[in-house]
Amino acid sequence: MNVTFANSNTQVYQTNKTQATKATTAYEATSKTKETDKMSEMQEKYKDIYTPIPDTYSKADQELQNAKVYEAYPNYIGLKELWNKSMSFNEAEPIKLGIPPTKEQVEDQKQSSQRMENWLIEKYGSMEAFNSMNKDVQEIRNKYPVNHWKGDNEKEFTRFENASVYEGLEDGKTLEQAKIDARNLTISFMDVDNNMTDASNKNFLDTLVKAGRADPNAKQPEYTKNEIDFNAPNNSVMDLRKYGIDGDWEFYKILENQQAMTSEIEKKINQFNFMLSNEDLVTSAYSKLDSSFQDLGNNAGYKQLIRDEYMPDMKEALDIFKNYKIYDSVDIKG
pLDDT at residue number 229:
85
pLDDT at residue number 2:
33
Measured in residues, the chain has a length of 334
More confident residue, 10 or 196: 196
Q: Do 332 and 255 contact (CB within 8 A), yes or no? A: yes
pLDDT, mean over the chain: 80
pLDDT at residue number 317:
97
High-pLDDT (> 90) share of the chain, %:
52
Q: Is the pLDDT of residue 332 over 50?
A: no
More confident residue, 275 or 210: 275
pLDDT at residue number 1:
33
Q: Is the pLDDT of residue 214 over 70?
A: no
Q: Is the pLDDT of residue 62 over 90?
A: yes
pLDDT at residue number 333:
43
Measured distance CA(265)–CA(318) in Å, rounded: 6
| Chain centre to alpha carbon of residue 223 | 21
Half-sphere CA count of 220, side-chain side, radius 13 A: 17
Sign of the CA dihedral running 165, 167, 169, 172: negative
Across the range 114-127, mean pLDDT stands at 95
Q: In which band, very low, low, confident or very high, does the pLDDT at 12 lie, cut at 50, 70 and 90?
A: very low
More confident residue, 114 or 200: 114
| Chain centre to alpha carbon of residue 330 | 22
Q: Do 82 and 165 contact (CB within 8 A), yes or no? A: no
Q: Is the pLDDT of residue 269 over 80?
A: yes
Spatial CA neighbour of 245 closest among 266, 278, 263, 272: 272
Q: Which of 88-97, 130-139, 260-269 has the lowest mean pLDDT?
A: 88-97
Q: Is the pLDDT of residue 31 over 90?
A: no
Q: Is the pLDDT of residue 21 over 80?
A: no
pLDDT at residue number 202:
44
Q: Is the pLDDT of residue 81 over 60?
A: yes
Tens of pLDDT along 288-300?
A: 888 777 765 557 7
Phi and psi angles of residue 47, each rounded to the nearest 5 degrees, phi first:
-65, -25
Across the range 72-97, mean pLDDT stands at 88
pLDDT at residue number 208:
46
Measured distance CA(227)–CA(231) in Å, rounded: 12
Across the range 255-259, mean pLDDT stands at 91
Q: Do 108 and 91 contact (CB within 8 A), yes or no? A: yes
pLDDT at residue number 151:
78
More confident residue, 289 or 16: 289
